[in-house]
Amino acid sequence: MTKFLLTAAVITGLLAALANLVRRKWLFNILALAIQYVCIFIVFPKTDGFMHALIKIIVGLMSTLIIYLTIQNTGAVKREPFEFKLSAGELFRMLSAVFLVTLVVLASPWLLKEVFPQSNIYILILSLGLALIGLLQLGSKTESLYVIIGLLTFLSGFELLYGSLEFSALLEALFAIVNLLIAIAGAFFIVKDLETETP
């Protein structure tokens, strides 16, 4: 059961990140970001109890909420009808991400044995997958909302990996502050762009 749950969380988390990379529908992206944090909560090591994993999900969902509320209140990003058909750019991003995730899945057993023996295969696949998809998003998008989502994805992947290697309360507090400030920065950019667009 645990293995099934972990596998499902890893797959869902990676699919959510992939959805964020490929599509540009803000409500869909926000939802995918929230799902991503839930999956991280499931996979996060719980050897010292639930508290650390709980901090991650609370901070993650709060960051998501900050971005959601900003967009909702300002109407900064227009709601567009959802289309299933993929454009060439979306297809390219999807294939790049699939290629990277495949590489991560193939390299993870070796990485687990040689570099990160303290971690486990589920954490390694989800964390490296999220970090690489986040990086791809950072490199392929320029709109502030999507860059911020890319940053949060990249950092959540790294935090998951680091959480399996070492725990420090100070570091956790700093990570929480950084995540929340990045979300606030995202909100700041959304409002600012709206102000400059409005005559």
Partner 1 sequence: MINNTVIIWILIPVALSGILALLQRFAKLSTAIVLVSSALLTVLAFILPEDLILSIGSRQIAFTDSLEIFGRVLKITKANLSLVGGIYLCVFLWNSLARKLETSQWFNALSLLIASLWISALAVQPFLYASVIILLVAVVSIPLLSPRGSRSGAGVLRYVTLQAIAMPLILLSAWMLSDIETAPSASALILRATVLILGGFAIWLALFPVHTWLPMVGQESHPWTLSFLLVVMQSSLTVFFIYFFEEYAWLRNLPNIWEILRWAGIGTIFIASLLLSFQNQIRRLLAYFYLWETGYALLAIGLAQDGGLHYLPLIFMPRILGYAGLSYIIVKLEHLEPDFDGNINNLKGFFHRYPFLSLGLISTLLSLSGLPILASFPAKRHLINLLPWSGYGMETWLILGFVGALIMTFRIIYALVSPSEEEQAIAMLAPQKEDIGIAVFCTALMLLFLISGFFPSIFSGLFKGILAPFENIYLFN
Query: Closest approach of Cβ 116 to partner 1, in Å?
Result: 9
3-state helix, strand, coil in the chain (%, to 5): 80, 0, 20
Among the listed ranges 42-50, 95-103, 104-112, 164-172, the one in contact with partner 1 (CB under 8 A) is 164-172
Query: Closest approach of Cβ 163 to partner 1, in Å?
Result: 11
CA atoms of 156 and 38, how far apart (whole Å): 11
DSSP 8-state secondary structure symbol assigned to residue 106? H
Q: How many residues bind partner 1, per CB under 8 A?
A: 34
CA atoms of 5 and 10, how far apart (whole Å): 9
Among the listed ranges 10-18, 43-51, 96-104, 178-186, the one in contact with partner 1 (CB under 8 A) is 178-186
The reply on whether position 65 binds partner 1 by CB under 8 A is no
Angle CA(165)–CA(99)–CA(122) in degrees, nearest 5? 30
What tokens appear for 66 in the block? Answer: 């900050």
Binding site for partner 1 (CB under 8 A): 115, 131, 135, 138, 142, 144, 147, 150-151, 154-155, 158, 162, 165-166, 168-171, 173-175, 177-178, 181-182, 185, 188-189, 191-193, 195-196
